[in-house]
Structure 1
Amino acid sequence: MAPGLLDLVHLTTWAVCAVIKLPQLVAVLRAGSAWGLSLSSLLLELAGYLVFLRYQIYYGYPLETYLEYPIIIAQDVILIYCIMHFSGKARRALFYAVIFWGSWYMLTLQKWIIDLAMNLCTFVSAASKLVQLQHLWQNKDSGQASALTWGMSVYTSAARIITTVMTTNDLVVLIRFIIMLILNIWVTATILHYRKTRKTD
């Protein structure tokens, strides 16, 4: 039963991640605005995803435990560019691309670098969620923030807790997913709260 459950969790996680940022992209493109979204949050999120992917590859973890990350990263890059475009900051995209590209290679120059980066990755990823929360609280409006995208993030975090326990049992990775689950629930609830508040006004 466990291998069947594991396969199901992997499959559903990949399916969700294949479209995880699409509701957010559609909302931004339809509105022609990135109101409610924090560029800093997305840049931190992207950094966290890149470190996590590099760590998984470096240690030779099974492909099925991180296969969704290249897909999420590609979607994040597109979303970040859209936000920069609608915010009039599209010229900065090349700068960020160079920084992220260089960091990708520097992470594995020494084993201690990737290990340290992975330990910091949880803080970076958590910071990305906290920055988005702060942005929502400050504006008291969810704007174009997609509750569906964040809700799917809740599912994938929960699913990856299961797959981590069943495959690698890496404590650092497990703690990361538990923290991400809690923060994703918090962001989703905040978006829904402000959406409800906006409808009742």
Structure 2
Amino acid sequence: MSSDTLLHAANFSTLFVCMVLKFPQIFVLIRAKSTAGVSLNSLLLELTGFIVFVTYQMYYDYPPPTYLEYPILIAQDAILLLLILHYNGSLRQSLVYTLLFVGGWRLLTVDKWIIDLAMSLCTFISAASKFAQLQCLWSSKDAGQVSALSWAMATYSCIARIYTTTVTTGDMQVLVRFIIMTLLNMWVLLTVLYYQRQRRSRSKKDD
């Protein structure tokens, strides 16, 4: 398989995965009508990281196939945010979050140093979102309504982006971010699977 073919396969598979990445989590929340185990802080930090990342890529005119999935992920995260606020009884806060995110996005493109600084912090923001989810899992000792499938797809998309970034832009900031996100996504995935397995074991004992 040629490098161009492999690159196209990685780009399109990542785009396809990200088109449905949050769907399992969305469906789990709708079915359960509960946000148990799902961290609001994690989602807010993840959304912030996505907005910074896609704005940086667009600002420097990077090839669209290398970041095309992020607007889709932002839209899915926005739906998740509305669901979490709805089931937590705080839907009115959605207007505040909308104003903050739109205002922040506009601020990013005011000057080059702002977007560069934001991108340098993007990895820390995204990493913090994973640790927020891990903290939520550790404190509850239960995966609750967290979707393992969504985290598995997130892990795959980051692995694919390590390859596409290496062979296209070679941007070290972006590459380091994807490596760290791959490891942290995998950590969350394994933690979710561990607590889900424990819950099944307890259910069998109760039966």
* Structure 1 residues 56-135: aligned runs within 5 Å: 56-135=57-136
Structure 1 residue runs of 4 or more that deviate by more than 2 Å after TM superposition: none
Match of residue 41 from structure 2: 40
SS at match of 1:89: coil
Residue 63 of structure 1 deviates from its aligned partner by 0.3
Separation (CA, whole Å) in 2 of partners of 1:5 and 1:186: 27
Q: What residue identity is the alignment partner of 2:148?
A: A
Match of residue 171 from structure 1: 172
Q: What residue identity is the alignment partner of 1:192?
A: L
State percent identity of aligned pairs: 54
Match of residue 28 from structure 2: 27
Separation (CA, whole Å) in 1 of partners of 2:178 and 2:37: 25
Match of residue 181 from structure 1: 182
Segments of structure 1 that go 5 or more residues without pairing to the other structure are none
SS at match of 1:99: helix
For residues 19-53 of structure 1, the C-alpha deviation after alignment (integer angstroms, 9 at most, x for no partner) is 00000000000000111100000000000000000
Segments of structure 2 that go 5 or more residues without pairing to the other structure are 203-207
Superposition RMSD in Å: 0.4
| 1:151 equivalenced with 2:141 (yes/no) | no
SS at match of 1:143: coil
Separation (CA, whole Å) in 2 of partners of 1:168 and 1:88: 44
Separation (CA, whole Å) in 1 of partners of 2:57 and 2:172: 13
Separation (CA, whole Å) in 1 of partners of 2:85 and 2:163: 35
Separation (CA, whole Å) in 1 of partners of 2:150 and 2:17: 9
Match of residue 141 from structure 1: 142
Q: What residue identity is the alignment partner of 1:64?
A: P
Separation (CA, whole Å) in 2 of partners of 1:9 and 1:29: 31
Separation (CA, whole Å) in 2 of partners of 1:166 and 1:16: 20
* Structure 1 residues 6-21: aligned runs within 5 Å: 6-21=7-22
TM-score scaled by structure 1? 1.00
Residue 108 of structure 1 deviates from its aligned partner by 1.1
Residue 193 of structure 1 deviates from its aligned partner by 0.3
For residues 103-156 of structure 1, the C-alpha deviation after alignment (integer angstroms, 9 at most, x for no partner) is 111001110100000010000000000000000000000000000000000000
Residue 89 of structure 1 deviates from its aligned partner by 1.1
Separation (CA, whole Å) in 2 of partners of 1:140 and 1:159: 31
Q: What residue identity is the alignment partner of 1:44?
A: L
Q: What residue identity is the alignment partner of 2:28?
A: A
Q: What residue identity is the alignment partner of 1:53?
A: V
Q: What residue identity is the alignment partner of 1:176?
A: R
TM-score scaled by structure 2? 0.97
Q: Give the number of the structure whose alpha-carbon radius of gyration is greater.
A: 2
